[in-house]
Amino acid sequence: PALLYGDQVMSYRELEIASKQVADDLIQAGCQGQPVALLMERSAELVIAMLGIIQAGAAFVPIDPAFPEKRVRYMLSDCGACLLLADASQQKRAVQRYGDQVTVWGPDVRTASCPQERETMPSVPEGLAYILYTSGSTGQPKGVLVQHSSILNTLNGLHELYPLGPQDVYLFKTAYTFDVSLSELFGWMWGGGALAILEPGGEKNPAALAAAIRRYGVTHINFVPPMLNALIHSLDEEGIQALHGLRYIFAAGEALPGALARAVAKKLPTVRLENLYGPTEVSIYATGYRVTGREEGSIPIGKPLPNVHVYIMDEAQSLQPIGVPGEMYVGGTGVAAGYLNREAQTAERFVEDPYVKGGKKDRTGDVARWNENGEIEYLGRTDDQVKIRGYRIELGEVEKQLLESGLVREAVVVSKTDRVGLPYLCAYVTAQGEVKLEELREELGRRVP
């Protein structure tokens, strides 16, 4: 099987036919080489649509149905989407909200395919695979342009280090607007495995996750540390036995607390816990570290993946010696092409790599150092960006949205950590008159994801 979703099973051949149908329709609509936006819940239809977009020679643009309308309209305008593909649950709302801005296709409004077979458009290495929007310090998200060669390099590297075979199953559980989801959406194909699709909302429920792992025989799974922490501490002896088929747990999105790493090693000693690191600008991941559970202090983010170069430099762009902190730069095949419609920010972030002819490196803004084992230790940020549950958040953006709400006169947003060492945001505000906390929460929810 290729896809497992509830009681449904789709073979590789059925998936090929269904995605080819989408590709035919997109080619007929003239979307080759154009961005195609997606507004869908997690489902088999989403996987089919993504593969169809790639086969049509177009680039997919993931949009979370939970995003505020203002943010979605900005993303559609910024990327100049050829079409917006919506599933049945989103189609009506998409037409009402965005139909004046872009043509919306749903399951019942796709164009009729031509009877004859159409040739899919070959994807060239330098061709655009997707545009993924991240948090922006100006209050508007930035579209990261990722080419086929970059994402393929990461997927090849992951398969080399963490192989997946015909007997393996990857769980699709991550929001598809978060680049880690791409390792789920495409990584299972490399070794002829299967993709199990978790029902929407299940990713927030430890019991639903454990049930899905057991039901589908999941072997590979991604977690942000907070959700991994929730799952591990919800497991009793019976729950631990139910997860005996797991082979790999990949932790990413924010720092992995040492206490959590030790808890995983204690409860799931046969499972390999891998701590992975990488901003969206380097195509999912740049480094990886195999966690033993015996580490003292912080958990390293490890060594570079294949065809990835990591430099830790001072302000003069000189390489730092072992143990000395500096800013981390990432070079190699995985580096993205830049930001959409943001030349100045692209030039600032994607700089020349003096060690590779014609190469460029990503200025991550992360502070790190090499340890004596040739591994990288993450130390923090050079700016006010934080990661919460895997998503990049500019504290200044949240402050800006609070001030623009008209409900507060002053706002300061800071990142704090709970008792386990997991981060959360805390806002200190001076209200404009009488303002209820719930009113402020609702208004902020309309403005930011």
What mean pLDDT do residues 417-433 have? 79
Q: What whole-number percentage of the chain has pLDDT above 70?
A: 93
What mean pLDDT do residues 159-184 have? 96
> 430 versus 42: which is more confidently predicted?
42
At the top level of CATH, the class of 391-447 is alpha beta
> 239 versus 304: which is more confidently predicted?
304
Contact between 432 and 395 under an 8 Å Cβ cutoff? The reply is no
**Structure confidence at residue 311 (pLDDT):** 98
Q: What are the phi and psi torsion angles at 119 (to 5°)?
A: -80, 125
pLDDT > 70? residue 137? no
User: Where along the chain do its domains lie?
Assistant: 3-123, 150-381, 391-447
Name the band, by pLDDT with cuts 50, 70 and 90, for residue 395.
Answer: confident
**Structure confidence at residue 113 (pLDDT):** 40
What mean pLDDT do residues 36-64 have? 96
pLDDT > 90? residue 437? no
Paired sense of beta strands 350-352 and 338-339, if any: unpaired
> 168 versus 422: which is more confidently predicted?
168
**Structure confidence at residue 115 (pLDDT):** 39
How do residues 231-246 score in pLDDT, each as one tens digit?
A: 999 999 888 988 989 9
pLDDT > 90? residue 403? no
> 160 versus 119: which is more confidently predicted?
160
The architecture that CATH gives domain 3-123 is 3-Layer(aba) Sandwich (3.40)
**Structure confidence at residue 139 (pLDDT):** 66
pLDDT > 70? residue 327? yes
Lowest mean pLDDT of 54-63, 121-130, 134-143, 360-369, name the range.
134-143
How do residues 16-26 score in pLDDT, each as one tens digit?
A: 999 999 999 99
What mean pLDDT do residues 27-48 have? 96
Name the band, by pLDDT with cuts 50, 70 and 90, for residue 108.
Answer: low
pLDDT > 70? residue 122? no
Query: What is the chain's mean pLDDT, rounded?
Result: 91
What mean pLDDT do residues 86-96 have? 95
pLDDT > 50? residue 185? yes
Q: Which long-range contacts (CB under 8 A, 24 or more apart) does 365-369 make?
A: 365/327, 366/279, 366/327, 366/328, 367/325, 367/326, 367/327, 367/328, 368/301, 368/312, 368/325, 368/326, 368/328, 369/312, 369/320, 369/322, 369/323, 369/324, 369/325, 369/326
Name the band, by pLDDT with cuts 50, 70 and 90, for residue 222.
Answer: very high
What mean pLDDT do residues 201-211 have? 94
Q: What whole-number percentage of the chain has pLDDT above 90?
A: 75
The answer to whether the 3-123 and 150-381 domains have the same CATH topology is yes
The CATH code belonging to domain 150-381 is: 3.40.50.12780
**Structure confidence at residue 112 (pLDDT):** 40
What mean pLDDT do residues 98-116 have? 69
pTM for this model (two decimals):
0.86
